[in-house]
Structure 1
Amino acid sequence: MRPDPLPESASRPVVTPLSPSVVYASDTPDMLDSQYEGGLSGYTYSREGHPNADVVAARIDRMEGAPNPGVVTGSGMAAVSAVLMGCLSSGDHVLGGNQLYGRSLRLMSEDLPRLGITTSLADPTDVDAFAAAIRPETRLILLEAVSNPTLRVADLKGIAALAKKRGILLAIDNTFTTPAALSPYELGADFVIHSVTKLLAGHSDVMLGYVSAADPAMAERLRVFSVTTGMVGSPFDCWLAERGMLSFDLRFARAQETAAKLADHLAGLPGVQRVIYPTRTDHPDHARAMDLLGGQGCNMLSFEVAPTRAAANALARAAEGIAFAPTLGDVGTTLSHPASSSHRALSEADRAALGMSEGFFRVSVGLEDSDALCETFASAVAAAHGA
């Protein structure tokens, strides 16, 4: 039975309509053939694509200057998986940054080897370390511009030049930095990845990812793999993400401004042992950050208090109104403790080697009043110092 037609209207909606339909009807087998073969544009089955996903993908394509249409996936990790599992083969080797997102590290260390894809890690701030880690079978390099949670800035220009010279594909996860601060395709990236869940959507109510490719053949492999494995995001999440993306530029600018102010404020508080923020002159990669990010620091910062669980618990309890949650990019500021969340699987010694003690916190700065936020963190740090 065909659905009733929509009422005719001389005007049009100012908000993209939500299209939750799982299937789309064609008039004839010839029409369906033409859709699959590219003679007609249209939708067939939502796992193969739907209007709300295409709207979101097209918006991020424009933001990133993507040479080919990107794919919206059900999560950021689905986007990472689409690159690593959809574009690589048994016998290939992947070289990654040694401070990638935890689940990206797990995918590389535990899942890809089961498929015959070998992996290794190197320090992304050291292009010589990457050069030394390349093997004859190295097919792809996976990087994040700014590491999570220590906010080290990768030598993207050096590694991109190295990858091009050696004929190795380069995938850059631009979630932390976003298109507002970094343009991976201009640096020579072959793939750009996003967890749309974070800053792009921005309201902690969406689970989506995005991936695009510079080469048309690789873009088609991403599309086919995502369709085959059912990676497409839901229409409702795409609809919510589009709404969030409409305010992205304003949210990013406000959060970045507040983050820089909070970083300087924290650095002057008794009990704070160090503050990590890319535009501060004491950042270990300050010169590279200023060059790569065009003087922008983004919305993430990290800091360290006394390296004890008692101090960490006291700080989290005293940070009133700040969500203690392992996420980032929300309109509200969130506080994360790597030792008990993202890096809990590592030993204390391994965390220490990466610069993360029990007193190490990551902050995703939101849209609160900056003075009020500084007061809240002053109280929280004082509580930790007292503990």
Structure 2
Amino acid sequence: MRNSKGSLMRPDPLPHSASHPVVTPLSPSVVYASETPDALDDQYEGRVHGYTYSREGHPNADVVAKRLDAMEGMSGGVVTGSGMAAVSAVLLGLTKTGDHVIGGNQLYGRSLRLMKEDLPRLGIETSLADPADIAAVRAAIRPETKMILVETVSNPTLAVADIDGLSALCKETGILLVVDNTFTTPRGFQPFDHGADIVIHSITKLLAGHSDVMLGYVVARDPALNERLSVFSVTTGMTPSPFDCWLAERGMLSFELRFERSQATAAALADHLAGMPGVKRVIYPTRKDHPDHDRAMDLLKGQGCNMVSFELEGGRAAANAFTRAADGLNFAPTLGDVGTTLSHPASSSHRALTPEERAGLGLSEGFFRVSVGLEDPAALLAVFSEAVAAAAAS
């Protein structure tokens, strides 16, 4: 419509309908109009629910948060613009200068960088310890230690943390236990059932599952911590895109089916690689030769998830030959796609570490992390056979 001076006036945005959409509508609006200042007060003071400015929340983010809340058996979770935004919300939003944080010594590369470089720059001291060695973690605790951050299954070495032992230690000392559950997902492991205080996910990965979304999620057992995480993420602009949330909800509808299919193929791939000349070692949680096999079987109940890591003989030359010959597989620093992807930590996620630091983590130039997708298993094994043979020939 137009007013008397001819300027464009917005009509009501949604015509009335006696029916409702089957698919969640995409809500890209940055702002939401209220009727009066009193009505806006009611929203901000919690007497009614409503949206104001999309940095403070929007419908698509709430839909995704509620789905993940249900998966983790909690409420009040916060969706962020990336997985690292969720990690940062915890480490920066719940600590202050003078605090101390312990991290697992085999965290994702950017989490390690945050622990080793950014937190100390802000006066937050950090230490790293093996999350499977409770004595080592206990030795790292100081009076000012506020939290311990670990990955259930580490990225990319697939080491399995002693979550039960860490939970007992944290309860004894009053320290928060923060678990990044990205690799295992809620389908493979439920951290809150094992005493975690805070759980983090990179929705970008297997939960959304199509390499077209950048999102994170964090939820705490304590509602007061959820409120602090929410306020910090809003203040620092960690708000997710409505479109990414809309895509993520679509991906999450098929998540359980994708998880089961890719997990079954991953187990077959791990066994296949283990018998091939030129493969130095294979890492998969349910294999009996995994260093943490007994713990993995106890914690994960036989769920190996969709990630396989392995090491080629021959170093960088073999790695280059392998990726060239892996026809149809994307060599890319990601995981959780519908297609299988290959990642080389020495040239991607852990490139900021020195060669000596990478060697200490077991990340040689021949080390690969595989995110197994939904391809025909027989065809996928054939591709790996040809690529490993090419690497050996190099």
Same topology, TM > 0.5 = yes
| Conservation of the 8 A alpha-carbon contact between 2:83 and 2:217 | yes
**3-state SS of the aligned residue for 1:26?**
coil
What is residue 243 of structure 1 aligned with on the other side? 250
Q: 1:159-170 to 2 correspondence within 5 Å?
A: 159-170=166-177
Residues 4-83 of structure 1: matches in 2 within 5 Å? 4-66=12-74, 68-83=75-90
Distance in 1, Cα, partners of 2:171 & 2:140: 15
Structure 1 residue 325 corresponds to structure 2 residue 332? yes
Could you tell me whether the CA contact under 8 Å between 1:35 and 1:42 is conserved in 2? Answer: yes
SS in 2 for 1:201: coil
Shift of 1:348: 2.3
Write the deviation string for residues 105-126 of structure 1: whole angstroms up to 9, x where unpaired: 1111111112211101001111
1:359: how far off?
1.0
Q: How many residues align?
A: 386
Tell me the equivalent position of 1:196. 203
2:346 maps to a residue whose letter is A
Counterpart of 1:220 in structure 2 is 227
TM-fit CA distance, 1:2: 4.0
Q: What whole-Å deviation, never above 9, does each CA across 1:161-213 have from its counterpart, x for those lacking one?
A: 10110000111001011000111111111111011000100000000000111
Q: CA deviation at 1:77?
A: 0.6
The alpha-carbon deviation at position 6 of structure 1 amounts to 2.2
Name the CA distance, whole Å, in 1 between partners of 2:11 and 2:110: 43
Query: Match of 1:120?
Result: 127
Q: Is the 8 A contact 2:350 2:358 kept in 1?
A: yes
What residue ranges of structure 1 are gaps of 5+ in the alignment?
none
Match of 1:143 in 2: 150
* Moved segments of 4+, more than 4 Å: none
How far does the alpha carbon of each residue in 1:1-30 deviate from its partner, in whole angstroms, 9 at most, with x for none?
443342222221110000000000000111
8 A Cα contact 1:307 1:357, kept in partner? no
Whether 1:265 aligns to 2:278 is no
What is the aligned-residue RMSD (CA, Å)?
Answer: 0.9
Task: Tell me the distance in 1 between the aligned counterparts of 2:11 and 2:385.
Answer: 59
TM-score (norm 1): 0.98
Is the contact made by 2:97 and 2:124 (CA closer than 8 Å) also made in structure 1? yes
CA contact (8 A) 2:314 2:392 kept: no
Does 249-258 or 215-224 show the bigger shift? 215-224
Deviation at 1:317, TM superposition (A): 0.3
Determine helix, strand or coil for the equivalent of 2:279: coil
Is structure 2 residue 298 aligned with structure 1 residue 291? yes
Aligned to 1:308: 315
Structure 2 length normalisation: TM-score? 0.97
* 1:234 aligned partner, one-letter code: S
**Counterpart residue type for residue 140 of structure 1:** M
Find 1:278's aligned residue among 278, 285, 291.
Answer: 285
Question: Match for 1:235: what amino acid?
Answer: P
* CA distance, structure 2, for counterparts of residue 245 and residue 293 of structure 1: 21
Counterpart residue number, 2:350: 343
Deviation at 1:38, TM superposition (A): 0.6
Deviation string, structure 1 residues 254-282 (Cα, Å, up to 9, x no partner): 00000000100111111111110000000
Matched residue, 2:183: 176
